[in-house]
Structure 1
Amino acid sequence: MHREGHVGMALLAYSPVAMGTTAVGYTDFAIAGAVVAGALAMVPDLDMRIPFVEHRGPTHTAWFTLLLGGLAGGLGLIASLSRGVLAGIGIGLFAGVVVSLTIASHLAADALTPMGIQPWTPRSTRTISFDLFTAANPIANYALLGIGIVAVAVGFATGSALSGFT
């Protein structure tokens, strides 16, 4: 997939988090999470800029997803401990979930293409590919972007409506 498709998939994956975070009254965090999801949607493709790293190799695995999510969670916890232990844990969990979902959404989008991904490498070299459309398909990329934007907007709107009931 190209940038548009990956950003759309990241927003789609993040939309339930946006809804829940908005519903409990943390709209500022929900907005920040959406921005982070969009901004980090292309991180796994940094492998194309790193010499000797195969494209859709180590950066397109579940292990990379867990590593980055764990790092984000740890940094979120450390950075927010001044707000108290519970706040630090909450912010750390939020950061870890947002980053993990974003990286996982990238993998999911790439699994829609004929090339697919090998998410369990080196434990398994099984390729997952749904072979729905090529990564360069502009209709698929812009459709995913549109779906993601609509999904996150619905998430915010639903969360906002639900916040009146809490």
Structure 2
Amino acid sequence: MYWRGHVGIALLAYAPVAGAVRVAGEPGLAVLGAAVAVACSTLPDLDHRLPVAHRGPTHTVAFAVAAGAFAALAAGIALPAGAPTGVALPPWTPAFVGGVATLSLCSHVAGDAITPMGIRPFRPLSAWHVTLDLTPAANPRANRLFLGVGAAALALSVGLTP
């Protein structure tokens, strides 16, 4: 997938979380989570600028978990409990940020799994290759479709919750 597809898949994955967070009475956190989901949605493709193979180490579950833990740590430092942020955030915000980052990164891996090239999500522990071979990554219609479906899912999730 290209960036539009990855952003759409991340929003689709995050949509139920956003609805649950809104139901829990944390609309500010729902907005923060959407920003984190979008920001992390294309992070694995930084491998294009690194001396590593494309769809290599940055396209694994291990990378998603490690980067999510780093995001939680960064949020804990940037948003300490009780700090004035303009929006009242609960003390579990760093864990939430880390979880959303991990979810978004895993959605990127899943998005690349639907392409013919596929991915090896558990490398280096396993050479298992996953491809559903549904659409080429460069398919502009598929990328726009995922972006539209993801944006619609998030809008519906947030719009239908009190």
**Would the TM-score normalized by the shorter structure come out above 0.5?**
yes
1:82, 1:105 → 2: CA distance?
A: 29
Structure 2, unmatched stretches of 5+, are: 84-89
Residue 81 of structure 1: CA displacement?
Answer: 3.6
Residue 33 of structure 1: CA displacement?
Answer: 1.2
Residue 158 of structure 1: CA displacement?
Answer: 2.5
Residue of structure 2 in register with 1:110 after alignment? 112
2:17, 2:136 → 1: CA distance?
A: 29
Residue of structure 2 in register with 1:29 after alignment? 29
2:149, 2:14 → 1: CA distance?
A: 12
Deviations 1:128-151 (A, max 9, x none): 100000000111111101110111
**Hey, which of these two has a bigger chunk of helix by percent?**
1
Is residue 18–residue 159 contact of structure 1 (8 Å, CA) maintained in 2? no
1:69 aligns with 2:65: no
Q: In the alignment, residue 21 of structure 2 is paired with which amino acid?
A: T
1:73, 1:159 → 2: CA distance?
A: 26
Q: In the alignment, residue 94 of structure 2 is paired with which amino acid?
A: G
Provide the identity percentage: 44
TM-score by length of 1: 0.89
2:142, 2:52 → 1: CA distance?
A: 27
1:68, 1:159 → 2: CA distance?
A: 30
Q: Mark the CA change 1:151 to 1:21 in structure 2 (over 3 Å): closer, same or farther.
A: same
Residue 32 of structure 1: CA displacement?
Answer: 1.8
Residue of structure 2 in register with 1:163 after alignment? none
Is residue 73–residue 93 contact of structure 1 (8 Å, CA) maintained in 2? yes
Return 29-38 or 116-125, whichever deviates more: 29-38
Q: In the alignment, residue 13 of structure 1 is paired with which amino acid?
A: A
Is residue 44–residue 60 contact of structure 1 (8 Å, CA) maintained in 2? yes
Residue of structure 2 in register with 1:9 after alignment? 9
Residue 25 of structure 1: CA displacement?
Answer: 1.5
Is residue 13–residue 104 contact of structure 2 (8 Å, CA) maintained in 1? yes
Residue of structure 2 in register with 1:100 after alignment? 102
Q: SS in structure 2 opposite 1:82?
A: coil
Residue of structure 1 in register with 2:82 after alignment? 83
1:80, 1:34 → 2: CA distance?
A: 17
Q: In the alignment, residue 39 of structure 2 is paired with which amino acid?
A: A
Superposed CA RMSD in Å reads 1.6
Is residue 8–residue 147 contact of structure 1 (8 Å, CA) maintained in 2? yes
Residue 41 of structure 1: CA displacement?
Answer: 1.1
